[in-house]
Amino acid sequence: MTAKTPLERVQESDRLLERIMLQLPGFRGYKVREERREADKIIRDYIYRALKGARDDLMGCFQLLSNAGTPELMEPTNQLIAKLDRVEEKVNRASYGYSGFFDSVRIDIPQLDQMVAYDTQMIEASRKLADSISSFKMQLSQGKFEDTRNVESGLETSISQLEATFDKRKQVIEGVTV
């Protein structure tokens, strides 16, 4: 008898799982929720890493402003760093999109779909924010400080919008009307 390949073993276990799903009412829904929870974790980890990188770049901007001797421009950037850090930690520490059999608040598939929509918005917003901060850092490294206040204001708006989207996502998890 020949040894089975890893693919064949996985396919056999999938067939076993399918047989179990046919026998146990509700198991298929459980499996779908579990897969969505894993997807939610992957998405949130991606957003967290993007925001962490953006915050690191923003700290580089702060350093460039400090080296240029522009204290009047440093404080708004310092406030942006603190705000971005808060949003980053919200993303990192929030509940995953999943509820177990005994949880008091159940997250059903329509709510999970809403969360995925918010996560998609957050992925795009975190990319744009990271790109904007990277451009800001490049501008400052070239000694271009004329437009700093406008850039800081735009970044503040972007971070606030990202946080608002994340808060709406959290409301879905908590069962609060969005």
What's the CATH code of the domain at 105? 1.20.120
- Rounded to two decimals, the pTM is 0.74
How many domains would you assign to the chain?
1
The answer to whether residue 65 is domain-embedded is yes
- pLDDT tens figures, 58-104: 999 999 999 999 999 999 999 999 999 999 999 988 766 544 444 44
- pLDDT tens figures, 14-33: 666 666 665 666 655 666 66
d(CA 69, CA 16): 67
Q: Is 78 exposed, middle or buried (CB count within 10 Å of its CB: 0-12, 13-18, 19+)?
A: middle
- pLDDT tens figures, 91-105: 988 766 544 444 445
Which residue carries 């402003």 as its tokens? Answer: 65
The answer to whether residue 55 is domain-embedded is yes
Domain of 153 in residue numbering reads as: 36-174
The answer to whether residue 25 is domain-embedded is no
- pLDDT tens figures, 128-168: 999 999 999 999 999 999 999 999 999 999 999 999 998 88
The answer to whether residue 60 is domain-embedded is yes
The answer to whether residue 30 is domain-embedded is no
The answer to whether residue 22 is domain-embedded is no
d(CA 84, CA 141): 21
The answer to whether residue 6 is domain-embedded is no
